[in-house]
């Protein structure tokens, strides 16, 4: 552009070329600002579309796609992935005793505790209500169980705002197996979670079929 403006001095006055150059520069600056704003708005829309507003965890809209991708990767490359289905124990009692605002705060803080401990290759979804799901890639059963124990312990040791008692959670762990469909994989994590709660809560149980 600078070369063109210099060449224009041979046929136009300096004043005209200067005003034209300033106008072009203004357009470039405006276009850059506009592109930045659009990019920020796009990122915000993507965040709103994929993130649970209350807890900051991922929502369920892209869960099926994400799990299906892990299943395909496992079939083609053998990449281990495990699910950790987490449920806050006695959450209804917290709501009934201390109020829904305290319950909402608990969900938010609970999500932060979990996210803080997860590595980059793990995703946290809000599965529904007081249930959260961790999709942990490059993670076999033993590694998943170790992570689940750390999460359970961290939750129990956290002082949650407005809740004067220890909060615990139960976790069902299901490693992905070669014949698992998406539905079966989720089902096994749910069965393991149910077993953890039935056995007394504040427990970690892996998928029960051998």
Q: Based on C-alpha coordinates, what's the Rg of the chain?
A: 26
Instruction: Name the residue with tokens 């200067």.
Output: 18
Distance CA 132, CA 84 (A): 8
Q: Please, which residues have CB within 8 angstroms of residue 51's CB and are 6 or more apart in sequence?
A: 57, 58, 59
User: Has 72 been annotated as catalytic?
Assistant: no
Cβ burial of 7 (10 Å; 0-12, 13-18, 19+) is exposed
Asked whether 109 and 161 are in contact (CB, 8 A), the reply is yes
Catalytic annotation, pick one of 53, 130, 131, 137: 130
Which residue numbers are catalytic? Answer: 130
């Amino acid at each position: 552009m600078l070369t063109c403006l210099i060449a224009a001095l041979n046929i136009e006055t300096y004043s005209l070329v200067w005003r034209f150059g300033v106008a072009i520069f203004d357009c470039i600056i405006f276009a850059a600002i506009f592109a930045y704003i659009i990019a920020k708005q796009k990122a915000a829309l993507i965040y709103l579309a994929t993130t649970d507003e209350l807890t900051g965890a991922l929502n369920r809209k892209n869960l099926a796609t994400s799990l299906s991708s892990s299943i395909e990767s496992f079939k083609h490359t053998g990449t281990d992935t495990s699910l950790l289905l987490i449920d806050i124990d006695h959450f209804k009692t917290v709501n009934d005793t201390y109020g829904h605002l305290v319950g909402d705060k608990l969900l938010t803080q609970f999500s932060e505790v979990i996210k803080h401990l997860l590595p980059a290759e793990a995703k946290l979804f809000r599965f529904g209500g007081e249930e959260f799901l961790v999709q942990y890639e490059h993670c076999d059963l033993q590694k998943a169980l170790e992570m689940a124990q750390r999460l359970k312990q961290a939750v129990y040791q956290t002082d949650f705002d407005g809740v004067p008692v220890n909060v615990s959670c139960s976790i069902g762990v299901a490693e992905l197996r070669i014949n698992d469909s998406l539905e079966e994989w989720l089902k096994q994590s749910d069965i393991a979670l149910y077993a953890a709660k039935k056995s007394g809560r504040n427990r970690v149980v892996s998928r029960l079929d051998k």
